[in-house]
Amino acid sequence: MYDVSDLKKGLKFQIDGEPYMVIDFQFKKPGKGQALYKCRLKNMISGTQFEKTYRSGEKFEEASLEEQEMEYLYAEQNSYCFMNTSNYEQEFLSKDQVGDTIELLKENTVCTALFFNGKAIGLTLPNFVNLRIVKSDPWAKGDTATGSTKPATLETGFEIQVPPFVDEGQLVKIDTRTRSYVERVNE
């Protein structure tokens, strides 16, 4: 059990049988009365967010969350097949469970899946992935302005901005947290 004084950003706990995560947190101590803990919570299954205020002394149940390394194998209609890297069991995740991580996900990528009561509720990509550029406009000679970029389409179909010297067919490193180009990768 968590006490209300344990609340902090990123803490995961359970309310009415569903997992929630603290997105934002403020502590207020008025001149009189009990301390107030104002939180912005996110339902980890549905993604809905709301604000809730707690008073000192309240308790929360710890969420039974588990993380497992999963390797992405293939897509089949509206589901995605992942293999648990420790016991080789296959798990199918829906489009909602995978979310927008599919934009940077290619076969054989090892990810971290978050499970609640044995059911997958989310997927986290590694911080960096290497993807090939399949479409990009050629570099215009003399286009050397500092900070200039051009659009490029990755092998997953996701479009990012890259420096003008990056060409089609090159392998690039992408930061999955910011969804931006980091550097070219030597093959």
Ordered by where they begin, the domains of the chain are 2-62 (2.30.30.30), 65-124 (2.40.50.140), 128-184 (2.40.50.140)
> How far is 125 from 132, CA to CA, in rounded Å?
17
Q: Which two tokens stand for residue 173?
A: 């490193």
pTM for the structure as a whole: 0.71
- DSSP for 102-151, please give it: GGG--TT-EEEEEEETTEEEEEE--SEEEEEEEEEPPPPTT---TT--EE
Per-residue pLDDT of the chain in tens (187 residues, 90 and over written 9): 888 888 888 888 888 888 988 889 888 888 888 888 899 998 888 778 899 988 888 888 888 888 899 999 999 888 899 999 899 989 888 887 788 888 999 999 999 988 888 888 888 899 999 999 999 888 766 656 666 888 999 999 999 999 888 889 999 999 998 999 999 988 7
Q: What is the Cα–Cα distance from 137 to 103, expressed in whole angstroms?
A: 21
What are the tokens at 82?
């992942």
